[in-house]
Chain A
């Protein structure tokens, strides 16, 4: 069970059951939809940008525990950050879940470090990164739904 507990950490389970910022932002000036055709996970990410800064962020949709918790914690992590900071965090997060994180990342990931167990489950990387890819698309102002495939 040790491997499983690495993946399904309590923080992740808790966020999957009670996701934060799980709502629509009526005044969103950016939004994007992300879809994983392999498992049917589907999320919409809403952004309220003030210039280059993320004033508010939220998401809605359905997916597995990993994808939902990742979306929830992502919204907490990037709120108040600039576009460039959010993109940098995505890169760090992607490195973490694909097992390419540097030994000492300077603690930049904060709570997101709980997703390190995902790197032992390669087929679940897409679950963990779906919301982040969707955020990236929203920041870029892409209109069409993005896909993990």
Chain B
């Protein structure tokens, strides 16, 4: 999955034109130009997304899959068009394998509660890694508690890479599911998903991939990866908040019980017997986030328009530049130095708490994230309470990396 290896020139991407697509980037914060480096938390939205949502509410708004009237038919069409865009984006075999959810978190919970309850028995094991976001830990802990199953955790090395030999050893006869992140939100590590899937499938174990931090930066092809479930959030890939996708192989989804009951997920209801709807509607109870799906479709089309390979190659260039410049600052320790990384530059500074770094950078107009990044086990692994994290998107520039470096120098001045 290395992007750096792909021979794509960054000249294919005109960053100034890209920046002009994002209205929010034009503003000043505390009198300084906004330098938005908190993209792993959420990305900004291009005008194409904002306008698609506005257009929907101004001209198409109606409930879907029910009405016979013009607006309802039109809204249904646009909603299902969003599904086909997501299908193409992930290269899923069929649109019925695309379940709309609120985000990655809900996607993982859906699998834990539906697939998990049906398949995980007492004594079974679920295998995750030491670099997971809390959202790929806690749903499995809840399931394991309910089922008297056991959560196993594959360790990472000092660079923040999964130790594959240990992962292989933990894959045992009791392992019933593997859940692993594609890209670590705290470290930026890109996991070798294809290999992980091969290893797990070799033992007949299905794999869920948390793709929240991957889809904005890497080409994801769920058929090439051969993963069984893949979840991502719209808002981290230039789409709206509150909408995301759970991909699942049709055969698995078909055999799973519903996650939530309600309207739209049924064929017929009586007090004697209710018949569930077919895929994907079986998993979409209630009126969904129609505008969100339309906004997400616009976001994914925007990404496809730029070309995900172009985005990844350009970002890698900026992140490499920023990483080299930040590393040269005295007292800096990088957290997460995997050989395969995307977007994330996480660091600590000698004797200066990340929270203080964040406040001082904010005064310079620079938005970064400080804290444990919902990955407390990662912090524990590196013996720290928190890091400062700069995370880059397609609209960030080397000039902004320079601003980050100047900001960190200012932090050091204040604490000199």
Contacts and interface: CB of A to CB of B under 8 A. Distances in A.
Interface of A: 1, 3-4, 7-8, 13, 17, 38-42, 62-66, 121, 123-124, 127
Contacts of A62: 385
A3 B353 CA distance: 19
B94 interface: no
Contact of B371 (A38, A66, A121): A38
Given A3-B363, A8-B414, A13-B414, A64 B356 contact: yes
B386 A40 contact: yes
B72 interface: no
Contact of A39 (B351, B352, B386): B386
Contacts of A8: 356, 360, 414-415
A13 B415 contact: yes
B359 interface: yes
Given A4-B414, A8-B414, A39-B371, A127 B385 contact: no
Interface residues of B, number: 18
Interface in B190-236: none
Nearest to B379: A40
Contact of B354 (A1, A39, A123): A39
Interface in B363-379: 363, 370-372, 379
A1 B409 CA distance: 13
Given A64-B355, A65-B415, A4 B360 contact: yes
B385 A7 contact: no
12 contacts: A3-B363, A4-B360, A7-B359, A8-B414, A13-B414, A39-B353, A39-B372, A41-B355, A42-B385, A66-B355, A66-B356, A124-B355
B353 A63 contact: yes
B355 A127 contact: yes
Contacts of A123: 359
